[in-house]
Amino acid sequence: MARKILVSAGEASGDLYASLVVEELRRLMPGADFFGCTGPRLRAAGVRTVVDAASLAVVGLVEVVAHIPRIYGEYRKLLAAARTEKPDLAILTDSPDFHLRVARRLSRQGVPVVYLVAPQAWAWRKGRLKSMRHTLRRLLCIFPFEEDFFNREGVNATYIGHPLAGLVKPTLDRDEFFRKHDLDASRPLIAVLPGSRRGESARHLPALLDAAGRLAREHAVNLVLPASATTGTGFFRERLGTSPIRVIEGESWDAMAHAAVALAASGTVTVEAALLGTPMVTFYKVTTLSWMAGKFLVNVPFYSMVNLIAGRAVVPELMQGQMTGERIAREAGRLLTQESARMEMKAGLAEVKARLTQGGMPAPCRAAAIVQEILEGQTAHVS
């Protein structure tokens, strides 16, 4: 009998990770039917859309409030589809505020839930753990320190490796990339990565524009901003004015791979840069109210995932008030001019890459194998 699987992802990274798992499941179970909350990657993988993931992409404790009515409507729509279609299993990816609520409802309906990309309960909102113990059949962790934490807390967790390990690589060599974008091959490249959403990019741009101007005056550099599909090139070109930053469409992995330094918003892009071995300066800024609320709630030694994985300060973190053009330019300039600083950081990034690579099977294959194992266990139980 053909399996029916609900798949849901609310962020661009989750959409990518879930699509890789779906592609592997299609190989293992060619007749399976997939439906759910999708972004472009899941749709390309053949998942029927009930809810568009773009409607869930909101960041910030305060910023999300205005969007609650719309998000609640999408939540009800997804659950209605689950009641109608009666999936054999659900794969929920990241976006815990949305998906942990979905998981509770699905669990009550008897649908086993596999959760991909663990909520950061090790940093804040540990109250989520009780619900996770009772509603998740399996939690698939993509960072190595998470498995022990969740298993200690009674959540059935497995570290599968990072889905991007082995996947992140350039498509062009340096000469090809520089020729394509008419860059000066004698000058080092700085990749400017303000974030994949318009809201966060808008908050980061003033400091990045200041930093770009300083770097252009103090060093002979190329500055390239690879715009994500969710922001688009027009969004940045309208805001850059006379900035020396050149905006290109996509190609973030090529830009990072060939960059001497990346200026990277804290998030998935910093993991991508680490996998490429690119020295970076990380930063992030939210509204003042969100930052003040977060200070009381978040308990971590570092904000950057690169540093959390390493267990030490490998890359500089310029958060909130520390994120100024002067500070970004100073840190980037140090990496451009001090070979010892570059080599020390690259050694740390190599350690991070090694920890993100789970030996043997790629992460999407391990995730698909676990899903298949759960489904086969159900079949054996029924028979």
Digit-by-digit pLDDT tens for the chain (383 residues) are: 689 999 999 888 899 999 999 999 999 999 999 999 999 999 999 999 999 988 775 444 444 444 566 777 888 899 999 999 999 999 999 889 889 999 999 999 999 999 999 998 877 778 899 999 999 999 999 999 999 999 999 999 999 999 999 899 999 999 999 999 999 999 999 999 999 888 899 999 999 999 999 999 999 999 999 998 778 899 999 999 889 999 999 899 999 999 999 999 998 899 999 999 999 999 998 766 765 666 655 667 688 999 999 999 999 999 988 999 999 999 999 999 999 999 999 999 999 999 998 666 899 999 999 999 999 986 544 33
Give tens-digit pLDDT for 11-49.
888 999 999 999 999 999 999 999 999 999 999 999 999
Same domain, 123 and 208: no
Same domain, 221 and 347: yes
CATH of the domain at 372: 3.40.50.2000
Domain of residue 116 covers 4-165+358-382
Same domain, 45 and 80: yes
**DSSP states along 134-181:** HH-SEEEESSTTHHHHHHHTT--EEE---TTTTT---SS-HHHHHHHT
Give tens-digit pLDDT for 200-222.
999 999 999 999 999 999 999 99
Q: Crossing angle for the helix pair 68-85 and 96-108, nearest 10 degrees?
A: 30
Same domain, 63 and 126: yes
Name every residue whose Cβ is closer than 8 Å to that of residue 126 and which is 6 or more positions away in sequence. none
Same domain, 282 and 180: yes
- pTM, rounded to two decimals: 0.83
Same domain, 146 and 68: yes
Same domain, 107 and 40: yes
Count of Cβ atoms closer than 10 Å to residue 156 Cβ? 12
Domain count for the chain, please give it. 2
**DSSP states along 124-139:** S-TTHHHHHHHH-SEE
Predicted local confidence at residue 267, as pLDDT: 87
Same domain, 335 and 212: yes
In percent, the amount of the chain with pLDDT more than 70 equals 90
Same domain, 141 and 42: yes
Same domain, 136 and 57: yes
Q: How far apart are CA 357 and CA 20, in angstroms?
A: 16
Same domain, 190 and 321: yes
Same domain, 181 and 56: no
